[in-house]
Amino acid sequence: MVMNTLNQPVALIAVVGATGSGKSTFINVASGSNLRVGTSLESCTGEIAFGNLCQVSGKNVLLIDTPGFDDTVKTQADVLREIASFLKQSYEQGRLLTGIIYMHRITDLRVGGIARESFCLFRKTCGDDAMNNVVVVTNMWGAVEQQRGEERERELATKSLFFKDAIDRGARMLRHYNTVESAHAIIHQMLGNVPEVLKMQHEMVDEHKGSQTTEAGKSLQSELGKQAEKHQKEIRELQEEIKQLKSKGDKERNSYRQEVNDLKYAQGKLTEKMIALEKEKDKLLKQLDDHDSDCGQCSIIFSILVARARILTLPPSRINYQPISI
């Protein structure tokens, strides 16, 4: 059924969160899409993707799927630069997000360091002024006892270690029960939002910063630096242990040979991690312009979907169908 409205705008809602948090599943349920959904801990959303155009409360909605910062294939630097490129191009085209959904599994027994780091990057990407347009959506309620789930929900909402600071600045926390009605109820609450310029968009477009010098970029660089320092310390400690074992007499040295080999193996693994960290830091320091061309196709698809939504909301008499020659 074609709605009787002219050039109705499209509400753009990004869905973000950790790998396996249910981002693609939420989009599929809400919009009848068929985005690939993972059945393991490996990432399925390798790049930014779009759900089908759908209507919620009489309004056009386009849901945007994003890779997690803990992606199992791409590095955090890769993910940040991809998201930064999309946000930069969409802002330059005059398109702002109506809302952002941050997915979180209520089944998680604890929120680990990587998850907290990912949410920190998310907040620095959005900025505090945009928290009013953020909804933290907890899901997988069917896999947890109601009382236990409510206890976790309360802890997530009241501790600064988790989502309290974001909620204090305007973010909301809602539940998703894996139904169309539940997904649409969440989206409905976001449709009255005033689209906001995200902090990273303002930094990159208005202040002409590269992704590496934005708050999110500097935060990631700092975290990578801390990880590198930690690994360097561990390598030094292993080297000292190996040195001490090698300094023993021949008889003792033979009895410690396996231990020395194990320590050397551990040292090799840490060295590999150090090399990977250095590569990630180098990627982050590259100018975003190097990555813009990679997101060109994504931007084209985005523009086509938005344009298509506007066409579908025109009355039949206003749609200019062009004949196709065969």
Same domain, 103 and 174: yes
Kindly state whether residues 105 and 188 are assigned to the same domain: yes
User: Which pTM was predicted?
Assistant: 0.73
Strand 59-65 versus strand 10-17 pairing type: parallel
| Residue 89 counted as domain residue | yes
Residue 100 near residue 13 (C-beta atoms within 8 A): yes
Virtual torsion, Cα 241, 243, 249, 251, nearest 10 deg: 60
Query: Are the C-beta atoms of residues 64 and 15 closer than 8 Å to each other?
Result: yes
Query: Residue 138 has what pLDDT?
Result: 97
User: Is 312 within 8 Å of 63 (Cβ atoms)?
Assistant: no
- Same-domain check for residues 88 and 170: yes
Q: Say what the pLDDT of residue 5 is.
A: 40
- Check residue 43 and give its pLDDT: 46
Residue 92: inside a domain:
yes
326: in domain: no
pLDDT of 183 reads: 97
> Which pLDDT value is given to residue 203?
95
pLDDT for position 65: 93
In a domain, 248, yes or no: yes
In this structure, the answer to whether residues 167 and 251 fall within a common structural domain is: no
pLDDT < 70 positions in the chain: 1-8, 38-46, 71-73, 113, 248-256, 277, 280-281, 283-326
Q: Give the pLDDT confidence score for residue 44 in this predicted structure.
A: 47
Looking at the structure, tell me whether residues 203 and 221 fall in a common domain.
no
Residues 6+ apart with CB under 8 A from 202: 127
Number of folded domains that form the chain: 2
**CATH of residue 37:** 3.40.50.300
Residues 154 and 69 in one domain: yes
Q: Are 218 and 83 within one domain?
A: no
Do 167 and 269 lie in one domain? The reply is no
Asked whether residue 1 is assigned to any structural domain, the reply reads: no
How much is the pLDDT for 45? 47
Residue 232: its pLDDT value, please? 79
Tokens of residue 84, six digits: 């930064």
Specify if 323 maps to a domain: no
202 with 226, same domain?
Answer: no
Same domain, 122 and 237: no
If asked whether residues 197 and 106 sit together in one domain, one would say yes
Residue 99, domain member (yes or no): yes
Q: What is the pLDDT of residue 35?
A: 85
How much is the pLDDT for 62? Answer: 95
Tell me, yes or no, whether 45 and 27 share the same domain.
Answer: yes
Is residue 179 within 8 Å of residue 132, measured between CB atoms?
Answer: no
pLDDT (0 to 100) of residue 305: 54
In a domain, 324, yes or no: no
Decide: helix, strand or coil at residue 101.
Answer: strand
**Residue 236 is part of which domain span?**
213-285
